[in-house]
Chain A
């Protein structure tokens, strides 16, 4: 049922809604095209949320399994990207809860940002901007976990307060409060750093 390479290439050009409709019909090639299209964003979000490279890839995989099973329940196929990211969000939070019970298994090798260094393709002009990004990473890592989750779900996944509240199982008011705390702390750090 997988398309020919030519058809696959063609699928890379078509909009999300069409791919989601085909995938809901059972077209695995269309589903894989969606996965490839949004995979990097899903992986990036999962890495920021879980803080672990290995967990992030497990989260992406579980998200895709769940998405394939539930695709026909997606009412607006054009909204598939946000829907995938919401699954990534709740899966990542599940992983954090699980991991808290196995803190001894924490593997430092796998930590996001452990090996980050300025990327060689960064032109000179971007050096300042990329070092500000590095400073933001550090400031983000120092936030209380609950605040960091709210911030990532908002800024990376573009979720509403209500959606974040559902994902984290807290009230929308708590989301508003934690997000504000996170932003105030981060903004201050960044101003100090400047």
Chain B
């Protein structure tokens, strides 16, 4: 891959300079500072890269917004399969009935409780313990993001109480603990 026109008179090639821009590595970095040819080569490659960023911005602008119809129609076509997770057995009145709910429906329930608080959004949530065996003690882990300015401890306490109440009402899980971790503090959007 040697092209005579790309070798500068100082012996370096434009290909070396191109790799240097990406990796920061070149055989003799000290040479670059003192060599006008390498400086000119680098300047030209950097200009190209800046123009590349302009092209990218212009292409992204041409692509339209993610809230436009094109994206909605792609999303409508997706038909995302649900992720049910584990099956959680429920008691039934008739011994012949087998009733169960899914882990996915419980994490959706947890998210809806967290999201309903202004300035709070749920992240990942996990049910630790064997939910498939009734009566097993379960620990709930929830990650949340809180908008800056809300008291995090207070918010976490409120949520813990509310989640305990909701889970007791809507599920038969034996909740041992609910651990809430604030993973992000969000800036309020102007």
Contact = CB atoms under 8 A, between A and B. Distances in A.
A156 B80 contact: no
B63 A47 contact: yes
Nearest to A72: B83
B74 A26 contact: no
B47 interface: yes
B14 A180 contact: yes
Nearest to A161: B22
Contact of B47 (A38, A60, A187): A187
- Do most interface residues of chain A lie in helix, strand or loop, or is the interface mixed? helix
Nearest to A132: B51
Given A25-B124, A38-B66, A13 B189 contact: yes
Interface string A18-43: 10011011111001100111111101
Nearest to A154: B22
Interface in A109-153: 116, 119, 129-130, 132-133, 136-137, 140, 151
Contact of B186 (A7, A14, A57, A65): A14
Contacts of A17: 123, 183-184
Interface stretch (B88-96, B104-112, B160-168, B169-177): B104-112
Contacts of A187: 44-45, 47-48
Contact of A44 (B22, B54, B62, B184): B62
Contact of A184 (B6, B22, B112): B6
Contacts of B77: 61
Interface string A71-104: 0000000000000000000000000000000000
A158 B74 CA distance: 25
Contacts of B125: 25
Contact of A183 (B48, B54, B183): B48
A47 B64 CA distance: 12
Contacts of A45: 59
Pick the most buried of B54, B77, B112, B115: most chain A CB atoms within 10 A of its CB: B115
Nearest to A33: B66
B133 to A, nearest CB: 22
Given A44-B63, A48-B59, A136 B51 contact: yes
Nearest to B44: A187
Interface in B45-85: 45, 47-49, 51-56, 58-67, 70-71, 74-75, 77-78, 80-85
A136 B44 CA distance: 14
Interface of A: 1, 3, 7, 10-11, 13-15, 17-18, 21-22, 24-28, 31-32, 35-41, 43-45, 47-48, 57, 60-61, 64-65, 68-69, 116, 119, 129-130, 132-133, 136-137, 140, 151, 154-156, 161, 176-177, 179-181, 183-184, 186-187, 190-191
Interface of B: 1, 3, 6, 14-15, 18-19, 22-23, 44-45, 47-49, 51-56, 58-67, 70-71, 74-75, 77-78, 80-85, 104, 107-108, 111-112, 115-116, 121-125, 143, 145, 147, 183-184, 186, 189
Given A26-B84, A180-B18, 9 more contacts: A1-B82, A13-B147, A26-B82, A26-B104, A35-B75, A39-B74, A44-B60, A156-B56, A183-B18
